[in-house]
């Protein structure tokens, strides 16, 4: 009996042994599929860029105007928000006709904003916190108070042709008549031509009268532009946002010195002083300009290699059609340009009336036209455009921030988007924007004014939203700061800021930094974005962009496997992060957005 038991045990032992052996052998033989190794990304390729409008971010000295020390004191906020780089609108010496975009000294800091030492301190602290600093670079024009303009107007040798100077167009009927050289219209309304008594010629300005356009056909101007960039690279700048590039060149006059007129657009609602009255074929997108951008890229790359630093970036501000926009990346000859041109499609092509199909179409539009091997980017607002929740709907803030953070490439946030700041009201009396003052009056100035998107940042619910201790701030603080402010959102269990923090953290997930994408409209109003990478968790955003509840099926969605875990939900959603979703459809409230995590594909 004992023997039988023994031999059965021995037999079982042998079988188990053999099975274990075979399984082990199989395991050793069959390689377990490892998730793919992730290529290292350069710092800028998947970062979040936070745009600071220095005048409105934080005032340190109580004069009602934001400044560099103010920015430096709040850099921790940017780290806390999870951004990787800040871009500051111009901080250079300026008479402030266009709030810093009219530079009088390209090598100095504007006194209201501080000193060069303040700038150096800002850069040093930012770098020590791991933040990159991108400056605004304004090559198209200079203030008429700049030494360049003063010398050019005086025809000082070397400066005669620094700007675009032109004689009056001859009037055959009256030789004493001083006609403007052409019918070109400035971006801020009125003729681009301004008479200089001193030089007895017109100069060209595509923006305000006080912003004279440089002449980019002059080699000395091109050289000086590179000098300016080099100066700031040496000061520690990590790159440049390049202003108004489409306007660098204008058509030259014919052999008799006559400039061609623009064709008329035929828009009968506009008067001859308004941009849009003509079709701009002579003052923007001229092919010469792309070569200048490629040369700048070469210049900063050369500097970077000589100095063995991290990448220095060039980001092009260009409102242009898609073909011209993509030329900023580089051309078919292999010349390389900006790291990216800003993608303004969410500003120019979508609004509160857009449905999910419009969103899917517009997202794919950029990704389809972008030349292979380049990095995409997404912009939802800036200091020239009505704020994101005002252009769309306030209940879409978390969904739009989710889109920004989950789409492939770089996310750009304009200060305040992380807390859902809306346009502030600025009365006609308080209006300071040249675009509104030039083109509007008391009845219609809000159609042109950029002041509403530039009102001060809401830090907390104290005086002036914690922006300044001054009695009067340069623009009024928006009235809704008691409800919408950073401190309140830090204190609340759920807030736009907390959603934003979850989203910026999520960007470290391999599917988001390195994965592929799938975008579709599940219904007319529910948008779906999936990010997936073999071997890694999949992420999906479902976002009802409509203004009523909507139901969408999730069962035929590619790359999505159940169970799904909610990782971010909009503030007004009945769901919270951690909820598990197992059913094949989802019902979303108006504006509701949910980010889901699923098993690897």
Binding site for ligand NOJ (CB under 6 A): 98, 101, 138, 207, 243-244, 317, 383-384
| 63 binds Mg ion per the rule CB under 5 A | yes
DSSP 510-521: HHHHH-EEEEEE
- The entry of Mg ion, ligand NOJ, none near residue 67 (CB within 5 to 8 angstroms by kind) is Mg ion
Taking the C-alpha atoms of residue 241 and residue 52, their distance in angstroms, rounded to an integer, is 12
Q: Are residues 540 and 596 in contact, defined by beta-carbon separation less than 8 angstroms? A: yes
Here's the x/- map for Mg ion, 31-60, by CB under 5 A: it reads as: ----------------------------x-
* Residue 207 binding target from ligand NOJ, Mg ion, none, CB below 5 to 8 Å by type: ligand NOJ
Distance CA 405, CA 589 (A): 21
Q: Choose the contact partner of 63 out of Mg ion, ligand NOJ, none; CB within 5 to 8 A by kind.
A: Mg ion
Other residues' Cβ atoms within 10 Å of the Cβ of residue 130: 10
Nearer to Mg ion, 113 or 380 (CB): 113
Residues 6+ apart with CB under 8 A from 465: 456, 457, 458, 459, 477, 478, 481, 485
Query: Nearest-CA neighbor of 251 among 279, 288, 302?
Result: 288
Nearest residue relative to ligand NOJ (C-beta):
101
Nearer to ligand NOJ, 165 or 414 (CB): 414
Token pair listed for 352: 């509160």
Nearer to Mg ion, 118 or 423 (CB): 118
Q: Which of 53, 56, 57, 67 touches Mg ion by CB under 5 A?
A: 67
Q: Does 65 bind Mg ion (CB under 5 A)?
A: yes
When CB distances to Mg ion are compared, the closest residue is: 67
**Smallest gap from residue 462 Cβ to Mg ion (A):** 17
As to burial, measured by CB atoms within 10 angstroms (0-12 exposed, 13-18 middle, 19+ buried), residue 13 is exposed
When CB distances are held under 5 to 8 angstroms depending on the partner's kind, the choice from ligand NOJ, Mg ion, none that residue 252 binds is: none
- Dist. CA 389–CA 386, nearest whole Å: 9
Q: Write down the least CB distance from residue 191 to ligand NOJ, Å.
A: 17
Min dist CB 78 to Mg ion, Å, is 19
For ligand NOJ, which is the closer residue by CB, 317 or 418? 317
Report if residue 80 touches Mg ion, rule: CB under 5 A. Answer: no
C-alpha R_g of the chain: 28
Give yes or no for a cis peptide into 414 (omega within 30° of 0). Answer: no
**Binding site partner of 194, from ligand NOJ, Mg ion, none, Cβ cut-off 5-8 A by kind:** none
Window 549-568: residues binding Mg ion (CB under 5 A): none
Shorter beta-carbon distance to ligand NOJ: residue 169 or 383? 383
Closest approach of Cβ 63 to Mg ion, in Å? 4
Q: Which is nearer to ligand NOJ, 347 or 407 (CB)?
A: 347
Nearer Cβ to ligand NOJ, position 342 or 517? 342
DSSP state at residue 577: T
Report if residue 61 touches Mg ion, rule: CB under 5 A. Answer: yes
Nearer CB in complex with ligand NOJ: 101/481: 101
Nearest approach in angstroms of CB 89 to ligand NOJ is 7
Q: Residue 238 binds which one of ligand NOJ, Mg ion, none, with CB within 5 to 8 A depending on kind?
A: none
Q: Tell me how far, at minimum, the Cβ of 77 lies from Mg ion, in Å.
A: 18
Give the single-character DSSP code of 253.
P
Residues annotated as catalytic are: 243, 317
Considering only 67-75, 237-245, 370-378, 547-555, which stretch makes contact with Mg ion by CB under 5 A? 67-75
Q: Based on DSSP, count helices (H) and strands (E) in the chain, helices before strands.
A: 16, 23
Q: Which of 595, 599, 598, 600 is nearest to 542 (CA)?
A: 595
Full DSSP string of 115-138: -HHHHHHHHHHHHHTT-EEEEEE-
Which of Mg ion, ligand NOJ, none is residue 80 near (CB under 5 to 8 Å by kind)?
none
**How far is the C-alpha of 210 from the C-alpha of 144, rounded, in Å?**
5
Minimum distance from CB of 299 to ligand NOJ (Å)? 21
C-beta separation of 544 from 443 below 8 A: no
The least CB distance from residue 248 to ligand NOJ, in Å, is 12
d(CA 352, CA 485): 23
For 400, the enclosing helix (H) or strand (E) is helix 397-406
Q: Cβ of residue 247: shortest distance to ligand NOJ, in angstroms?
A: 8
Instruction: Give the CA dihedral 520, 526, 527, 528, nearest 10 degrees.
Output: -70
Tell me whether residue 96 or residue 123 sits nearer to ligand NOJ (CB atom): 96
CA distance 110 to 115: 7
Nearest to 337 by CA among 289, 388, 380: 289
Task: Answer yes or no: are the C-beta atoms of 512 and 531 closer than 8 Å.
Answer: yes
Residues that bind Mg ion (CB under 5 A): 59, 61, 63, 65, 67
């Amino acid at each position: 009996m004992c023997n039988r038991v023994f031999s059965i045990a021995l037999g079982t032992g042998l079988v188990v042994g053999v099975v274990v052996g075979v399984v082990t052998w199989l395991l050793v033989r069959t390689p377990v599929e490892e998730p793919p190794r992730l290529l290292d990304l350069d710092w800028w390729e998947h970062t979040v860029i936070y745009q600071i409008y220095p005048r409105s971010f934080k005032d340190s000295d109580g004069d009602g105007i934001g400044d560099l020390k103010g920015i430096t004191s709040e850099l921790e906020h940017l780290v806390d928000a999870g951004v990787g780089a800040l871009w500051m609108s111009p901080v250079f010496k300026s008479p402030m006709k266009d709030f810093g975009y009219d530079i009088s000294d390209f090598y100095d800091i504007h006194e209201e904003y501080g000193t060069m030492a303040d700038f150096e301190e800002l850069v040093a602290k930012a770098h020590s916190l791991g933040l990159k600093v991108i400056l605004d670079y304004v090559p198209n024009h200079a203030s008429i108070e700049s030494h360049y303009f003063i010398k050019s107007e005086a025809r000082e040798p070397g400066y005669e042709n620094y700007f675009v100077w032109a004689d009056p167009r001859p009037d055959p009927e009256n030789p004493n008549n001083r006609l403007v050289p052409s019918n070109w219209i400035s971006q801020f309304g009125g003729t681009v031509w301004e008479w200089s008594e001193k030089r007895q010629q017109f100069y060209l300005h595509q923006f305000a009268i006080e912003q004279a356009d440089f002449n980019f056909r002059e080699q000395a101007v091109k050289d000086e532009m590179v000098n300016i960039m080099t100066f700031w690279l040496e000061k520690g700048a990590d790159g440049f946002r390049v202003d108004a590039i489409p306007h660098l060149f204008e058509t030259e006059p014919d052999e008799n010195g006559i400039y061609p007129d623009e064709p008329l657009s035929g828009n009968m609602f506009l008067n001859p002083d308004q941009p849009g009255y003509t079709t701009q074929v002579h003052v923007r997108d001229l092919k010469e300009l792309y070569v200048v951008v490629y040369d700048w890229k070469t210049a900063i790359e050369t500097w970077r290699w000589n100095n063995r630093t991290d990448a220095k970036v060039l980001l092009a501000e260009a409102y242009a059609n898609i073909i011209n926009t993509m030329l900023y990346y580089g051309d078919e000859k292999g010349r390389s340009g900006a790291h990216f041109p800003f993608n303004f499609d969410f500003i120019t092509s979508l609004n509160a009336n857009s449905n999910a199909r419009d969103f899917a179409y517009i997202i794919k539009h950029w990704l389809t036209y972008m030349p292979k091997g380049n990095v995409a980017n997404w912009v939802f607002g800036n200091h020239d455009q009505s704020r994101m929740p005002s252009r769309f709907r306030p209940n879409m803030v978390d969904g739009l921030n989710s889109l920004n953070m989950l789409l492939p490439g770089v996310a750009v946030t304009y200060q305040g988007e992380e807390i859902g700041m809306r346009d502030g009201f600025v009365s006609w009396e308080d209006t300071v924007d040249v675009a509104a003052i030039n083109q509007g009056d008391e009845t219609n100035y809000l159609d042109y004014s950029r002041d509403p998107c530039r009102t001060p940042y809401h830090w907390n619910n104290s005086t002036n939203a914690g922006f300044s201790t001054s009695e009067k701030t340069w623009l009024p603080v928006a009235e809704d700061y008691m409800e919408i402010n950073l401190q309140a959102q830090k204190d609340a269990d759920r807030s736009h800021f907390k959603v934003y923090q979850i989203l910026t953290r999520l960007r470290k997930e391999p599917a988001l930094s390195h994965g592929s994408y799938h975008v579709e409209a599940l219904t007319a109003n529910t948008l779906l974005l999936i990010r997936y990478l073999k071997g890694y968790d999949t992420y999906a955003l479902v976002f009802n962009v409509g203004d009523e509840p909507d139901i969408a099926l999730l069962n035929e969605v590619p790359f999505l496997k159940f169970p799904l875990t909610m990782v971010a939900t909009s503030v007004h959603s009945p769901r919270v992060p951690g909820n598990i979703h197992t059913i094949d459809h989802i019902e979303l409230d108006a504006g509701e957005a949910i980010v889901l995590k699923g098993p690897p594909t």
